[in-house]
Amino acid sequence: MRLEKCWFCSSTIYPGHGIQFVRNDAKIFRFCRSKCHKNFKMKRNPRKVKWTKAYRRLRGKDMTQDSTFEFERKRNRPERYDRNVTEETLKAIKKIDKIRVAREARHHSMRMKGKKAMERQAAAKELEQDIHLVKAPLALQEDPSLTLPKIKVKVSHPQAENQMEE
């Protein structure tokens, strides 16, 4: 039994799932489900289809190089069965998975690092420039609490001028 990778989305194909397509040049394409198979038949390039691992790795959204990937490389020499080795391998698989998940989470957080600051900046700019999309300008003038706090400028003889206008 061997766990293969889907040619289109790079997910693992467990036994009993999927379709294998053998092209006449003897290249074997394995698909995990009909979604990937149909996309292949439509001649879509997985590197351009957003939900595939190929796209994500190409655009740097997922980790590309890590030492945890070395453990999963394909080995063509069959190993002699040794009970201890099998036991250790099973334990190691669990540990390696945990480490890999932790590293991927860290990669994700590094990628999203400046997000909060950028969002705040964008929001402040929008409030300053595009407030007319939210509230009509006349409403803003009537009720000054809706606008940003304006800077107060001292004007000379304020009482006399106000009495004259009213």
Partner 1 sequence: MAACVASKWSMAVSRSLLGNLSSNNLGSLGKPQDLTSLGYNGLFFQQLRTFIQMRTKLKVVDNSGAKWVRCIQALKGRKGARLGDTIIASVQEAQPRGKVKKGEVVYGVVVRAAMPRGRCDGSEVKFDDNAVVLVNKQGEPIGTRVFGPVPHELRKKKHLKILTLAEHIA
Backbone phi, psi, residue 66, to 5°: -155, 150
Residue 2's alpha-carbon distances to 5, 46, 60, 76, 163, in angstroms, are 10, 23, 29, 11, 91
Cβ atoms of 68 and 99 within 8 Å: the answer is: yes
Looking at residues 41 to 60 of the shown chain, list those that interact with partner 1 (rule: CB under 8 A): 41-42, 44
Size of the site for partner 1 (CB under 8 A): 18
Q: Which is nearer to partner 1, 76 or 129 (CB)?
A: 76
Q: Which is nearer to partner 1, 78 or 158 (CB)?
A: 78
Write down the least CB distance from residue 74 to partner 1, Å. Answer: 17
Q: Which is nearer to partner 1, 42 or 112 (CB)?
A: 42
Site mask for partner 1 (CB under 8 A), range 11-30, x = bound: --x-xxxxxxxxxx-x-x--
The residues that touch partner 1, with contacts defined as CB under 8 A, are 1, 13, 15-24, 26, 28, 38, 41-42, 44
